[in-house]
């Protein structure tokens, strides 16, 4: 199986093949490699007194539309190819939603579950120090991603500001996804999930009271499940890295959807959603969850989970890609032939970066917006981005992913000129 960066380049080249050669050649030159790759070593004194060196990356892919923007991932599987792919997808995503940002991504090779809180803070601060020279409110603005959250952003922005000399207040804008006390925005934590709901609603593709399976129950998976369920959809299956559960068909849980607060509580106290025990609920494997007879499948974990090997067995009618890069290009072809609609990551999950943009604006202007204002602006942005992607896909007679890529490429090309 190809790696995520090969997949991202394959998606790019499909979109480039649909636009005039004069444009596509220039865009290919511009977007086939990142503008800058930074590799850092982060020494951390562990609780036992020994030192451990962690490897980290920041990939600044494109700055054509503005300062680089993209999250930071802490995961054992992090590698440079993955971060390059995620940075290219950020470039496309920011252009799809019309934000004045280029694309970037960062990551550290670490299993954060094995670190104590003190070690995690040292690592976060060490990473921020290591990349401090290449980031800033007008250069590159990181945010949370897998296994990083508002607390991690708080440590990083604090460390970054400590080393700065001027206007410490505005410098808060160097990171987004912070907690409110550190200068974060209302609504940022749930923004990716809420954005997913708005995109689904505006795509006019959702059947009535559909059943939903969600892979991944972290920030994005949990919040997406919550907003879908609050809006009449039935979330009947959920997984995390340790297992999956599904409501038995026809049972009370199937008819009303799983009790998400209870599932979240069980995950918090017992470490996994699979510890949910009820006669109406079965344990299954995370792979099996993808193939359930439901209406909407929501991948919200990692890359490359829908592949040529399982695409023929997917029964959902719609895939709402809340994770980045969950579907490989080969799987995309199979799904398209089978009439399954894929609402692509570069559209579906752009709610997070959109509210990150609002947070950045608030920090630079010294403002703090109310939650209703943030959510209403988010809704407008998501509706417009969805409308633009649908129109582009229609115009070029392509699937939604290629439509989203073409829309971005047109915006990047216009900015270049």
Residues forming contacts to ligand NAD in the complex (CB under 6 A) are: 144-147, 192, 215-221, 239-241, 286, 300-302, 322-324, 349, 352
Residue 105 annotated as catalytic: yes
Q: Which is nearer to ligand NAD, 229 or 286 (CB)?
A: 286
- Which one is catalytic: 105, 122, 172, 267? 105
Q: What are phi and psi of 243, to 5 degrees?
A: 155, 180
Residue 370 in tokens: 């109310």
Q: Which of 94, 92, 98 is nearest to 31 (CA)?
A: 92
CB 58 within 8 A of CB 106: yes
Q: Which is nearer to ligand NAD, 125 or 188 (CB)?
A: 188
CB 297 within 8 A of CB 316: yes
Q: Which is nearer to ligand NAD, 3 or 218 (CB)?
A: 218
User: E strand or H helix at 392, and its extent?
Assistant: helix 371-396
**What's the closest the beta carbon of residue 394 comes to ligand NAD, in angstroms?**
26
Q: Which single residue is written with the structure tokens 């509210």?
A: 355
CB 97 within 8 A of CB 350: yes
Helix (H, G, I), strand (E, B) or coil at 144: strand
**What's the closest the beta carbon of residue 97 comes to ligand NAD, in angstroms?**
11
Q: Which of 211, 204, 272 is nearest to 237 (CA)?
A: 211
**What's the closest the beta carbon of residue 178 comes to ligand NAD, in angstroms?**
12
**What's the closest the beta carbon of residue 289 comes to ligand NAD, in angstroms?**
8
Q: Which is nearer to ligand NAD, 228 or 301 (CB)?
A: 301
Q: Which is nearer to ligand NAD, 258 or 301 (CB)?
A: 301
CB 217 within 8 A of CB 240: yes
Question: Which value, in Å, is the radius of gyration of the alpha carbons in the chain?
Answer: 21
Q: Which is nearer to ligand NAD, 16 or 84 (CB)?
A: 84
Give the number of other CB atoms < 10 A from CB of residue 384: 13
How far apart are alpha carbons 153 and 58 in whole angstroms?
A: 15
Q: What are phi and psi of 72, to 5 degrees?
A: -125, 125
Helix (H, G, I), strand (E, B) or coil at 390: helix
Q: Which is nearer to ligand NAD, 78 or 412 (CB)?
A: 78
**What's the closest the beta carbon of residue 361 comes to ligand NAD, in angstroms?**
17
**What's the closest the beta carbon of residue 269 comes to ligand NAD, in angstroms?**
15
How far apart are alpha carbons 341 and 212 in whole angstroms?
A: 14
**What's the closest the beta carbon of residue 235 comes to ligand NAD, in angstroms?**
14
How far apart are alpha carbons 245 and 263 in whole angstroms?
A: 10
Residue whose C-beta lies closest to ligand NAD:
218
Helix (H, G, I), strand (E, B) or coil at 187: coil
Q: Beta partners for 51?
A: 45
Helices (DSSP H) in 163-289: which residue ranges? 191-202, 219-230, 252-256, 260-270, 286-289
How far apart are alpha carbons 193 and 219 in whole angstroms?
A: 8
Active-site residues, by number, are: 105
């Amino acid at each position: 199986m190809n790696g995520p960066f090969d997949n991202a380049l394959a998606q790019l080249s499909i979109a480039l093949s649909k636009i005039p050669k004069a444009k596509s050649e220039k865009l290919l030159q511009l977007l086939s490699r990142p503008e800058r790759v930074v590799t850092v070593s982060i020494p951390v004194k562990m609780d036992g007194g020994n030192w451990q060196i962690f490897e980290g990356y920041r990939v600044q892919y494109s700055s054509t539309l503005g300062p680089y923007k993209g999250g930071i991932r802490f995961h054992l599987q992090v590698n440079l190819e993955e971060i390059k792919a995620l940075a290219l997808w950020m470039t496309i995503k920011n252009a799809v939603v019309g934000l004045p940002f280029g694309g970037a991504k960062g990551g550290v090779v670490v299993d954060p579950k094995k670190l104590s809180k003190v070690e995690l803070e040292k690592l976060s601060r060490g990473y921020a120090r290591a990349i401090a020279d290449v980031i800033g409110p007008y250069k590159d603005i990181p945010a949370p991603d897998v296994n990083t959250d508002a607390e991690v952003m708080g440590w990083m922005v604090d460390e970054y500001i400590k080393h700065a000399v001027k206007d410490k207040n505005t410098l808060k804008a160097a990171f987004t996804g912070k907690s409110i006390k550190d200068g974060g925005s209302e609504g940022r934590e749930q923004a990716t999930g809420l954005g997913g709901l708005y995109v689904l609603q505006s795509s006019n593709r959702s059947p009535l009271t559909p059943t939903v399976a969600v892979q991944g129950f972290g920030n994005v998976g949990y919040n997406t499940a919550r907003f879908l369920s609050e809006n009449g959809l039935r979330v009947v299956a959920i997984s995390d890295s340790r297992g999956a559960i599904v409501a038995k068909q026809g049972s009370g849980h199937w008819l009303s959807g799983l009790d998400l607060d209870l599932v979240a509580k069980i995950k918090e106290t017992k470490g996994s959603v699979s510890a949910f025990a009820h006669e109406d609920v079965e344990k299954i494997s995370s792979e099996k969850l993808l193939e359930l007879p439901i209406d909407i499948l929501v991948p919200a974990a990692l890359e490359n989970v829908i592949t040529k090997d399982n695409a023929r067995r997917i029964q959902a009618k719609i895939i709402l890609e809340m994770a980045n890069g969950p579907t490989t290009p080969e799987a995309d072809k199979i799904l398209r032939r089978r009439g399954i609609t894929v609402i692509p990551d570069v559209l579906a999950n752009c709610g997070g970066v959109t509210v990150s943009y609002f947070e950045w604006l608030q920090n630079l202007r010294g403002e703090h917006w109310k939650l209703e204002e943030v959510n209403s602006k988010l809704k407008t942005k998501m509706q417009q981005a969805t409308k633009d992607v649908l129109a582009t896909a229609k115009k070029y007679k392509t699937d939604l992913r290629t439509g989203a890529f073409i829309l971005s490429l047109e915006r990047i090309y216009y900015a270049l000129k």
